[in-house]
Amino acid sequence: MRTLLALSLSLSLSLILLSISAILTNAKFSEQSLELQSAHRADKVSHLHFYFHDVVSGKDPTAIVVAGKRNAFGMTTIIDDPLTEGPEPESRVVGRAQGVYTLSAKDGAALVMAMTFVFKEGKYNGSSISILGSNQYLEAVRELPVVGGTGAFRFARGYALAKTNKFVVRTGDAVVEYNVFVMHH
Ligand SMILES: *[C@@H]1O[C@H](CO)[C@@H](O)[C@H](O)[C@H]1NC(C)=O
């Protein structure tokens, strides 16, 4: 009887301590944001379409190899590539793709890309979309995840479909068509 009482006392005590620590944890580290949650339910879905110009050749490249051997496993390239409305290089610039890609497959058939599309046009001026994923660039259409965004693209989730529009074997320059489907705040 006494042991039972002692047991139930210590149980209630640990429950109280647990709830106190839960309250403290919730208050300090995380809490549900009902305000943001209700706004978040009104997600918009946007479809963005543009062309990515990866210029590795010439006097003013927008993609530079910073590590590894050219076209070999480990080759790492930093980019600040223009994004344009149409496929021609003179087409209107709507933003830039800034980030890094690395040849991450031993057979050289895939890149891991970590980049941000920073937009410069219209209502998306100053907003950005972050992309992180594997690009099996020999495939006709590659899918990359949208992992986040800023500005108009807060809470972004979605995917990007990349399709090579033009690739010049001699120079290595490429134009890639992007269709981005993004749910955001
Ligand atoms: C985008 O925003 C920047 C900074 O506010 C501004 O200087 C620029 O003119 C804007 N561009 C367009 C196309 O609206």
For the chain, what are the domain ranges?
A: 44-184
What is the fold of 44-184? AOC barrel-like (2.40.480)
**Cα 125 to ligand 1 centre (Å):** 6
pLDDT, tens only, 96-155: 999 999 999 999 899 999 999 999 999 999 999 999 999 999 999 999 999 999 999 999
What pLDDT does 108 receive? Answer: 87
For 3-37, b/e burial (b = at least 16 CB within 10 A) is eeeeeeeeeeeeeeeeeeeeeeeeeeeeeeeeeee
**Cα 119 to ligand 1 centre (Å):** 10
**Cα 52 to ligand 1 centre (Å):** 20
Residue 7, pLDDT > 70, answer: no
Indicate if ligand 1 lies below 6 Å from the C-beta of 121: yes
0.85 surpassed by pTM:
no
